[in-house]
Amino acid sequence: MSQARIIDGKAFAAQLREQVAAEVARLKAEHDLTPGLAVVLVGEDPASQVYVRSKGEQTLAAGMHSETHRLPAETSQAELLSLVERLNDDPAIHGVLVQFPVPDHMSQAAIVAAISPDKDVDGLTVTNAGRLASGLPALTACTPAGCMVLLRDVVGDLRGKRAVVVGRSNLMGKPMAQLLLAADCTVTIAHSRTQDLAAVCREADILVAAVGRPQMVKGDWIKPGATVIDVGINRIPKEDGKTRLVGDVDFEAAKGVAGAITPVPGGVGPMTIAMLLANTVSAAKRLNGIAG
């Protein structure tokens, strides 16, 4: 049985970070502009702490200005919103991101609504989601944007391909479907209520799994030769009491059927932060009237 190409997201992310760093150097030299990203973390979710630390480190490594605001879990929503407003008004900051998940007493929708669309480097505001859906230039959610970079390289011409996105979140499933549609794919969004999900997945030339359920997509759900993008990051217990990271796809079974597949870890995940840096540079340029 032939084995799928394993898509090296780490290598793509490293390449993208280099391009971002080169553009930052140019903006500094030619426009005296240093793109700035502010990340806000509320509470102490262990995975979020790791991601937020990486965001700060990678922002600095690209030559950008970085601010990390760590707030205790008991912070009120009003306090968080007032920090977001301050960051919206800060000329040194071009990207504002509140790390999710937030504590249960906060409304994710209210937080997103408070972020200036011009600084919304997560692409989550109604303005950016609407612009994307309308085919207008928009800041686009980082993970789906990263998936598109991988797909364009691996698949090449996406026009006319049948794409199935399993998952309908605002952060992943919906923008992913919009980006695939904009690339002229024939797109189906599937979800927990989809009937005969396996049969729907089997139609896909491009299958994007973003459901948050460990190894839910089985090998026999995949069309032979399909490109499989696994967005899931699930920690499951090991026999020794520790945990290991798996995606939403049964990788071992899928790699014998797919033409290409992203691993977890090392697939889509690293693209998320690299795209965040790219979005911050785009936001800085737009806010300063710099084309390109």
- Which residues here bind ligand LMY7XDAE, judged by CB under 6 A? 47, 50-51, 97-100, 122, 142-143, 171, 233, 245, 264-266, 269-270, 272-273
> What is the spatial distance between Cα 54 and Cα 69, in angstroms, rounded to a whole number?
14
* Minimum distance, C-beta of residue 121 to ligand LMY7XDAE, in the bound complex (Å): 9
User: How many residues comprise the chain?
Assistant: 292
Peptide bond into 263 cis (omega under 30): no
- Beta strands 206-209 and 227-230 are parallel
Reading across the β-sheet that carries 95-98, which strands appear in turn? 65-71, 36-42, 95-98
Q: For residue 169, say whether it is annotated as part of any ligand binding site.
A: yes
For residue 223, indicate whether it is catalytic. no
Q: For residue 290, say whether it is annotated as part of any ligand binding site.
A: no
Q: What are phi and psi of 67, to 5 degrees?
A: -130, 135
Q: For residue 189, say whether it is annotated as part of any ligand binding site.
A: no
Q: Which amino acid is at 64?
A: M
For residue 99, indicate whether it is catalytic. yes
For residue 32, indicate whether it is catalytic. no
* Minimum distance, C-beta of residue 153 to ligand LMY7XDAE, in the bound complex (Å): 17
* Minimum distance, C-beta of residue 143 to ligand LMY7XDAE, in the bound complex (Å): 5
Q: For residue 160, say whether it is annotated as part of any ligand binding site.
A: no
* Minimum distance, C-beta of residue 238 to ligand LMY7XDAE, in the bound complex (Å): 14
Closer to ligand LMY7XDAE by Cβ: residue 122 or 205: 122
Closer to ligand LMY7XDAE by Cβ: residue 33 or 96: 96
Closer to ligand LMY7XDAE by Cβ: residue 4 or 96: 96
Work out the angle at residue 191's Cα, subtended by the Cα atoms of residues 189 and 194, and round it to the nearest 5 degrees: 95
Closer to ligand LMY7XDAE by Cβ: residue 103 or 186: 103
**64 within 8 A of 24, measured Cβ to Cβ:** yes
**208 within 8 A of 200, measured Cβ to Cβ:** no
Burial class for 143, CB neighbours closer than 10 Å (0-12, 13-18, 19+): buried
Closer to ligand LMY7XDAE by Cβ: residue 96 or 197: 96
Task: Mark out the alpha helices in 115-234 (DSSP H runs).
Answer: 126-133, 142-155, 173-182, 197-202
Instruction: Annotate 174-207 with DSSP letters as a single string.
Output: HHHHHHHHHTT-EEEEE-TT-TTHHHHHHT-SEE
Catalytic residue among 120, 122, 230, 248: 122
* Minimum distance, C-beta of residue 267 to ligand LMY7XDAE, in the bound complex (Å): 6
Taking CB atoms, the residue at the shortest distance from ligand LMY7XDAE is 269
Structure tokens at 16: 């993208």
- Catalytic residue annotation: 55, 99, 122
Q: What residue numbers does the annotated binding site for NADP(+) cover?
A: 167-169, 233
